[in-house]
Amino acid sequence: MIENNYRAFDQIAPILITDLFERHNGLLVFGSIMVELKLLIVSFIALYSFAQIIECLPVRKKKICHFLPENEKLLFSNFKRRNHPRSKNYRHIPFYINKELSYDEPTNLIIHTHYDKSFYDFPSNILKLYKDYLIPEAIKYWENSLKVKYRYFPILLGRSCVNLQLVFDDSTKSVACETDCSETTKCGDYITIPEEHLDTCKYCVNNKSCTNRGKQKGGIKADFILYISAIDSRHCNASNTVAFASYCQLESKYNRPVGGYVNICPHSVSTKKSDIDPALATLKHEILHALGFSAGLFGFFLDANGNPLTERNPSTGKPPFNTKTNMYEASSRVVQNVKRSNWKIGNKRITRNIKMLITPKVLAEVRKHFNCSTLEGAELEDQGDIGTRLTHWEKRVFENEAMTGTYTQNSVFSKITFAFLEDTGWYIANYSMAEELRWGSNLGCDFVKKSCKSWMDSRREKNLSIQPFCDYIPANENVNTKYECNEQRDAVLLCNMVEYSHEIPTIYRNFDSYYHQNHSHAKNWLPRYSFSHLGGSVALADYCPFMQQVSWSMNNEIRDSRCIYEENSPDKSKNYILENYGSKSKCFSHSRSWLIYTNECTSRITVSKTIGCYQVIFYFLFKI
């Protein structure tokens, strides 16, 4: 027997009624008949609950990686110009010399996909899912989102040289191999580029006698060649890595990436319905790295007129190369170092150095999004290795923006990322394809320019909500766990704050005292170690704790707290608050705890969870 005062209806019905009236101006239309809305009844049917609070953990963090190509392996490809009779004579000429080539009007991006043989090792059901749906959908998204400003095709990718040794032929103003051309050319470390994708190769012995190798093919009629593999490489063995990607060849005139790869880690694939959306978001993310979202390409960005934003070396036509970072460096017109004084951490303040992308369209979008007119640009990630640091948006600032360094929940490709793509100088973005980023929207300069500790402290002092951050450990036995619905009401959220067994790096310490919202009885609780061990479970977010979807393990399966997936259903015997997960379900809050009577009503159990997922069914009573 389950007892509740059912006041949840009092919270839900006004929301749904208000929504209906806003959309229909107080009237429902059925065909040509106008009917007055008289009564709305909301019915709930149950399926699922969380079994034990202690079993709930923040949703699994998916590591999505980008690996910069080694400078010696980065090739600059050439093109046969359509309807341009002299183009053949200008192939192999670096962009800073070739001034006679014209370009077409911007047209939608065309991506040609080539599957490596390793991809076909997948079982048939996974092969079908990825080849027939996920990969085509991800490619279609970017083809519909981007137009190419400077089109040169068919593509003929460059061939590698033996020992990666190149010489510059002054007589023909072209690059050649010093000793010989390689028998095979790879995109990344593992994928062999097919012969029909490759241009001829010239090698010059002693820089004098030059010979061409290979037969020139027709090339690929596309703007970009994407190689897809499924190799269980050393990169896949890194914790939680689901896929990695990079570009491997750039066009020689404007340096836009024209060849790249995505490797799907075989151990990460799943055909579960609830894993489809994250897999699609991951593929979109990785493809975008290959298309140009990379710190290794910042130095090649162009202004609106096609001129380099970073000064080029007149002898090579390239930006300066930093051997320590293995990247071409960008000028201060692209990336700037910003000092944040009075940055609040722990019980003190420091000066923190931040790298920001400051290109014009990105600058306009971030100022608009955060409602901060003095914001200098978009903050770049400062943690992780070279494949994460600088080549993603800062997780603390952009959380579920898809181009942050780890997948947490509800990835969206926002207008800020679309602005980045336009600021490369290579693309025109279709902003109607961008998705809404709610994180940080209109929260102002205090949110985006200060630490999360500063934000939380100042909000508490004003008796305001500290959202989107939080400050309690869900599994603490002295605290009633506080669940919340996300803004879209399609998932149950939990604070991802944890107590680490080690100290958090000083720069990321966000607590010098401990608070529990609405849990006054926990004020005297102290952590096992010290406050320097407290923080959010997502390190890339500067250890700032925030409300996050949760996942838990049950019967050797991972389930999560998204309302729309029926597979998130528990054993019926533990469905204490009559939840129902399914395609028509939404997240709602109750007014108080539920009581469970057992043993013929002689025993009573209190279930403190006051948030759940419920199917919404409408019954309309109306008169004509």
Binding-site residue set: 285, 289, 392
- Max CA separation in the chain (angstroms): 98
- Cα atoms in the 13 Å half-sphere on the side-chain side of 551: 16
Give me the sign of the Cα torsion angle 392, 397, 399, 402: negative
CA–CA distance, 477 with 461 (Å, rounded to integer): 27
> What does the block give as tokens for 529?
């170690």
> What does the block give as tokens for 609?
């969870």
Q: Where are the alpha helices (H) located in 96-240, listed in sequence order?
A: 124-129, 135-145
CA–CA distance, 274 with 615 (Å, rounded to integer): 17
> What does the block give as tokens for 106?
């911007």
If you ran DSSP here, which 8-state letter would residue 313 be given? P
CA distances from 137 to 64, 72, 282, 538, 550 (A): 18, 33, 12, 29, 27
Say if CB 442 and CB 413 are below 8 A apart: no
Residues making up the binding site for Zn(2+):
285, 289, 392
CA–CA distance, 1 with 445 (Å, rounded to integer): 51
Count of CB atoms situated within 10 Å of the CB of 185:
26
- Categorise residue 555: left if φ over 0, alpha if ψ from -120 to 50, beta otherwise: left
CA-wise closest residue to 588 among 7, 53, 41? 7
CA–CA distance, 19 with 13 (Å, rounded to integer): 10
Cβ within 8 Å of residue 99, ≥6 positions away: none
* Beta sheet of 33-43, edge-to-edge order: 27-30, 33-43, 617-623
Q: Which of 3, 36, 251, 286 is catalytic?
A: 286
CA–CA distance, 495 with 472 (Å, rounded to integer): 7
Say if CB 193 and CB 182 are below 8 A apart: no
CA–CA distance, 89 with 83 (Å, rounded to integer): 14
Query: For residue 144, which phi and psi values (nearest 5 degrees)?
Result: -80, -15
* Known active-site residue 286: yes
Question: DSSP string spanning 339-367?
Answer: EEEEEEETTEEEEEEEEEE--HHHHHHHH
CA–CA distance, 72 with 192 (Å, rounded to integer): 17
Cβ within 8 Å of residue 350, ≥6 positions away: 343, 507
CA distances from 146 to 249, 288, 384, 418 (A): 19, 11, 29, 9
Exposed e or buried b per residue across 193-208, where buried means at least 16 C-beta atoms within 10 angstroms of its C-beta? beeebbbbbbbbeeee
Name the residues annotated as catalytic. Answer: 286
